[in-house]
Amino acid sequence: MINVLVTGANGQLGSELKHIHNKGIVKFDRSVNFVFTDIDTLDISNPIFLKKFFQDHSFDFVINCAAYTNVDLAETEKEKAYNVNATCVKNIVEAIKERNLSLTKFIHISTDYVFDGKSHIPYTEEMQTNPKSVYGKSKLEGEIFALQYKNSMVIRTSWLYSSYGKNFAKTIHKLCNERESLNVVFDQIGTPTYAYDLAYAIFQIVKQSVSENRFISGIYHFSNEGVCSWYDFAKLIANKAKSNCVVNPIESKDYPTPVARPFYSVLNKNKIKSNYKLVIPFWQDSLDEYFNITDNK
Ligand SMILES: NC(=O)c1ccc[n+]([C@@H]2O[C@H](COP(=O)([O-])OP(=O)(O)OC[C@H]3O[C@@H](n4cnc5c(N)ncnc54)[C@H](OP(=O)(O)O)[C@@H]3O)[C@@H](O)[C@H]2O)c1
């Protein structure tokens, strides 16, 4: 029996992992047991409890979806952001090591915000990080802790959305049905990531690791295929929602936020695609899937 622990499982990504598991969407050729936890059942900021939990259970995979994800609030709740995004990752790695589970594979999720957004070509895993926000800095520190364990994969992703939890797509979907117009920035470029697609990719990685012994540690990038601005994303959401709301393109300077976002955060996904033979959907096709799910909910 292969045992997989998922932390932060009530968030967007964790909920998509749960959905794929509950619906039996990915089949394994061995029995795989998933344990889904969140702060109420496994608070990863409590190192004593975490170590005890790892003493009592043995895991072949640990997938850490727990995070502090409020980018603006992180500027004022710095300690909390560093605690969840960095210290908690160290806690997990120490709990794995202390239990001497040297074969346990650790999959940790990070962000495009570890970059400063000054590039004009898609970011590869080797490119220089230079986070500008507390959130980005705390996530980078978490990556460093994760990679101190030899069997770790860090997957950086961007612009995550899902029918679960709070996100840009859901907010625009709601607002475009309530308002006559919306202003959305068109000078920040990136790629949306449908959390289902990332969860599906993680399942493929676990499956290939179980059946082909393929687990190649290190940093990876994952988003949907293609590129857009937040304005393009919002415009397509309004169109698909069949809303009459007018979406206006504005510049970031006219939409001040507590922390500036990277202007460019497109991720190069060649490494994850070639190492794990993944076919990643185009972001507009995934948005269709999101609408299929939410319309039928
Ligand atoms: N959201 C994005 O746009 C985005 C973009 C790029 C990368 N990422 C990364 O992708 C990953 C998944 O993001 P997401 O959007 O799924 O996050 P999310 O929806 O905010 O979910 C995070 C989950 O972690 C839980 N959590 C917080 N502190 C915890 C603790 N001490 N112990 C256990 N669980 C705890 C949260 O519970 P509470 O809700 O109760 O706090 C929440 O259920 C994260 O690593 C994030 O940094 C996200």
Q: What's the per-residue H, E or C state across 228-274? A: EEHHHHHHHHHHHCCCCCEEEEECHHHCCCCCCCCCECCECCHHHHH
Specify if 297 maps to a domain.
no
Nearest C-alpha to atom 41 of ligand 1 is from which residue? 68
> Among this protein's residues, is 194 annotated catalytic?
no
DSSP designation for 110: E
CA of 128 to the centre of ligand 1 (A): 24
Q: Phi first, then psi: give them for residue 109, nearest 5 degrees.
A: -105, 135
Number of domains in the chain: 1
Question: Domain range for residue 151?
Answer: 2-161+193-224+266-281
Specify if 208 maps to a domain.
yes
Q: What is the pLDDT along the chain (297 residues), one digit of tens a residue?
A: 999 999 999 999 999 999 999 999 999 989 999 999 999 999 999 999 999 999 999 999 999 999 999 999 999 999 999 999 999 999 999 999 988 767 899 999 999 999 999 999 999 999 999 999 999 999 999 999 999 999 999 999 999 999 999 999 999 999 999 999 999 999 999 999 999 999 999 999 999 999 999 999 999 999 999 999 999 999 999 999 999 999 999 999 999 899 989 999 999 999 999 999 999 999 999 999 999 988 766
Do 94 and 101 meet the contact criterion of CB atoms below 8 Å apart?
A: no
CA distance 194 to 45: 28
Q: What is the CATH number of the domain that holds 122?
A: 3.40.50.720
CA of 29 to the centre of ligand 1 (A): 30
Specify if 81 maps to a domain.
yes
CA distance 290 to 16: 12
CA distance 112 to 221: 8
For ligand 1, whether the C-beta of 45 sits within 6 Å is yes
β-strand pairing of 2-7 with 32-36? parallel
pTM passes above 0.85: yes
